[in-house]
Every structure is written in structure tokens, then in C-alpha cells.
């Protein structure tokens, strides 16, 4: 697949054209991951001696994890979607055909009717994320949260966009502590003091929505509170500049100084993206860091995400677990993310996935 590099001298900062943020990108020069992931394959055979008393196990026991979080298998079977619910084109084989066909084309300008469909599916996404967030507490597994998201989605006659996308086997991404993004829901129980990002995507009436937020699990330390506040502020300030005529590359110019001021850094490997009838469409890569080379200007009728991933400390790089999805910080420090789906209007921007203001994310 073709790669578009936004930076030449500071390492492998690239975003694959027509490859989503759910896809795994190259993390070192000359090294790349499979475009279609292998999560649908049988789970690894584990020696009986490595299985815990409750029947769970770490399938990658020899992998050098960077932090304290470990995968906890076995995973639950792929959840079923009733046959009457409309599916995206990748639901069966994982290949987003229409998304691939639109690679390299200009961003779509949605008609008023299409914009209204985006409003509907984005409201659904917010309702589903809020429902999932209400279950975040110590002792709950991320797999239980996946079940909530799945059931809330199909209850609305909608399809969870991540389910089957390029081989992803779950209805939500759950990323805990040092996991930056694309964490696979499993049997690990959330622990007091954790932070967890819930990334919800919904497909309804031919259109997708995409949003996420990071939540505290019980009482968290001040460093984690500051990280979540900083990440939300990065998103809020970036949204403020969105209007007709704004350059997509200017989003990163707003975000990076905010992160640095709080002794944090911006993840560069994953970017925001266009979204409408395609889960990930043009503009296919909207970086969150400054001095990027993204092309394009915002115009009325465009819909896209902004979704900064912010790490504690100064290291923006990441490593992928052997599942080929889970991306974690290289130093084991925590990471947070917030995301909204936006519509550019004639006079400014509409946050289609807007939710209630969280008091824990603001000082005032």
C-alpha cells in the first residue's frame, strides 16, 4: 500500500494513504505490518502450566511488554449482528472495498440530506459511548464493556464499525494505561487507578460515526488527571480553529504546543481522517503534530475526525503487541485520547458527536 510521509528526517512518521488509523503502520524504517490483520485466526495454543486458576492466560508470555498491562485471554467469540441490520462492505471479509476505491480522491462534500444522516449516526455514537462509560469501574472487564457497546449498537439497528474491519474482531477498542490505541477487549479486569480509552464507531443508514474518550477507573493519580485534561484541551482548541478555509495541517500547529506545555508529547504514527460513507476516507491523514505536510483545506460539507493521542513524557513512538493491533508507548508511560466527528458548516464547525461537559476534565 502507498505511504504518504509527512516528515523525512525524524524517523518513520508516516500515514498510509487509504489505510485507517485502525491499521497498523510501519514503526521502523524498512519494517511494515500486514494490511489485513490475523485476529480471525485460531488463538495460540498455551501450555497448561501457564493457565491461571480462573482459566485465563497471557498468549504472548515471551513478549517484552513496555508497561504493566497484559492481554488476558481467551477472547470471547466474535459477537453476532442480526441479519436485518445493514452492514458495511467489509463486514464479511474485512476488506473495505469502497474505501480503497476512494483512495487519493478529494474529500467528499456532503449534501444536506447526507449531513443529516451523519448527525443521526453521530448522536447514536455519543449515546453508545456514554452507555459504555457508565460501566467503567474497578472489577469490570473490557470484554464486558465490548458487550455493552455491541448490544447498545444493535439495539439501535446499527452496526459496530470496528467489527470485522481489516480483521478486527471486536465492537469497540479499549486502551488501558500505556496502550495508546486499538486495544482489544479481553478478560483483564479494570483496576483502581487505571485510565481507559473507549473508542466507539457506528454504522447506520450508510454512514459512520467515530468518537472516543479516556476515563478514570476509580481514583487516579494527579499525573493521569493532568494527562486527560491536557488531551481534552488539545482537542477543544483544535476544534476552535475549524472553519471554511482552515488548512488541515494547522490542526497540529495548535495541538503540539499545548501538549509540550504540560510535559506531554503527541503521537505521530496515527492520524485523524475523513469519515462519512467510508469509515476512513479522504482526507486520509490529518496529523496532530506541528510542522506536518498534510494537504487540503476545510470546506463546508466536509466531515472528519480530530483525535489527538497524547503521551506522558517526551517519547511519541510506540510498539505493537504481537496481536498486530494493540499500540503501546515505548517507555510504558500512560497515554490518553479524545475524539470527535466534525462537520464544516458555512460559518464554522459543528461537533456532531458532542456530549455533556465532563467536570473532571476542566479546572474551572
Annotated binding site for a divalent metal cation: 199, 210, 273, 307, 339
E strand or H helix at 305:
strand 303-306
Where does 241-343 have alpha helices with state H?
A: 250-261
Helix (H) or strand (E) holding 266: strand 264-266
- Which letter does DSSP use for residue 233 in this model? H
Question: How many whole angstroms separate alpha carbon 94 and alpha carbon 257?
Answer: 38
Burial 342-357 (b: 16+ CB within 10 A, else e): bbbeeeebbbbbebee
Please give the annotated binding residues for substrate, written as ranges: 182, 280
Cα–Cα separations (whole angstroms), residue 240 to 113, 204, 237, 243, 310: 25, 28, 5, 8, 19
- CB of 121 within 8 A of CB of 202? yes
Q: Which residues are annotated as a binding site?
A: 182, 199, 210, 273, 280, 307, 339
- Measured CA to CA, the distance from residue 215 to residue 234 in angstroms comes to 16
- The rounded distance, in Å, linking the Cα atoms of 262 and 79 is 40
Interior CA angle at 198 toward 321 and 173, to 5°? 40
Cell of 340: 470527535
How far is Cα 298 from Cα 234, in angstroms, rounded to an integer? 19
Handedness of CA 274, 279, 285, 290 (dihedral sign): positive
CA pair distance 99, 120, nearest whole angstrom: 21
Amino acid at each position: 500500500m502507498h505511504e504518504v510521509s509527512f516528515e523525512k528526517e525524524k524517523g518513520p512518521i508516516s500515514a498510509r494513504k487509504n489505510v485507517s488509523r485502525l491499521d497498523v503502520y510501519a514503526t521502523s524504517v524498512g519494517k511494515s505490518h500486514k494490511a489485513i490483520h490475523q485476529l480471525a485466526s485460531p488463538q495460540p495454543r498455551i501450555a497448561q502450566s501457564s493457565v491461571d486458576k480462573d482459566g485465563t492466560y497471557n498468549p504472548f508470555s515471551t513478549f517484552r511488554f513496555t508497561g504493566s498491562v497484559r492481554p488476558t485471554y481467551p477472547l470471547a467469540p466474535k459477537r453476532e449482528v442480526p441479519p436485518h441490520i445493514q452492514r458495511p462492505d467489509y463486514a464479511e471479509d474485512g476488506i473495505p472495498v469502497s474505501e480503497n476505491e476512494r483512495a487519493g480522491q478529494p474529500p467528499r462534500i456532503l449534501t444536506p440530506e447526507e449531513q443529516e444522516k451523519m448527525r443521526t449516526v453521530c448522536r447514536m455514537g455519543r449515546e453508545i459511548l456514554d452507555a459504555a462509560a457508565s460501566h467503567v469501574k474497578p472489577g469490570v472487564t473490557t470484554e464486558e464493556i465490548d458487550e455493552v457497546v455491541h448490544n447498545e449498537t444493535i439495539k439501535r439497528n446499527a452496526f459496530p464499525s470496528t467489527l470485522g474491519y481489516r480483521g478486527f474482531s471486536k465492537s469497540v477498542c479499549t486502551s488501558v494505561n500505556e496502550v495508546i490505541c486499538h486495544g482489544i477487549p479481553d478478560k483483564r479486569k479494570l483496576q483502581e487507578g487505571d485510565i481507559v480509552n473507549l473508542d466507539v464507531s457506528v454504522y447506520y443508514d450508510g454512514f459512520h460515526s467515530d468518537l472516543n474518550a479516556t476515563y478514570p477507573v476509580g481514583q487516579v493519580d494527579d499525573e493521569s488527571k493532568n494527562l486527560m485534561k491536557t488531551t481534552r484541551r488539545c482537542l477543544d482548541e483544535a476544534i476552535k480553529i475549524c472553519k471554511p478555509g482552515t488548512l488541515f495541517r494547522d490542526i497540529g500547529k495548535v495541538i503540539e504546543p499545548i501538549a509540550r506545555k504540560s510535559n506531554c508529547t503527541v503521537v505521530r504514527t496515527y492520524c485523524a481522517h475523513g469519515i462519512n460513507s467510508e469509515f476512513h476516507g479522504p482526507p486520509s491523514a490529518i496529523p496532530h503534530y506541528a510542522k506536518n505536510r498534510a494537504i487540503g483545506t476545510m470546506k463546508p460539507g466536509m466531515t472528519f475526525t480530530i483525535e489527538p493521542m497524547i503521551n506522558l513524557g517526551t517519547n511519541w513512538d510506540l510498539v505493537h503487541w504481537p496481536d498486530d493491533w494493540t499500540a503501546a508507548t515505548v517507555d510504558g508511560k500512560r497515554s490518553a485520547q479524545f475524539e470527535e466527528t466534525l462537520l464544516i458548516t458555512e460559518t464554522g464547525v459543528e461537533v456532531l458527536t458532542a456530549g455533556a461537559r465532563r467536570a473532571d476534565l476542566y479546572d474551572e
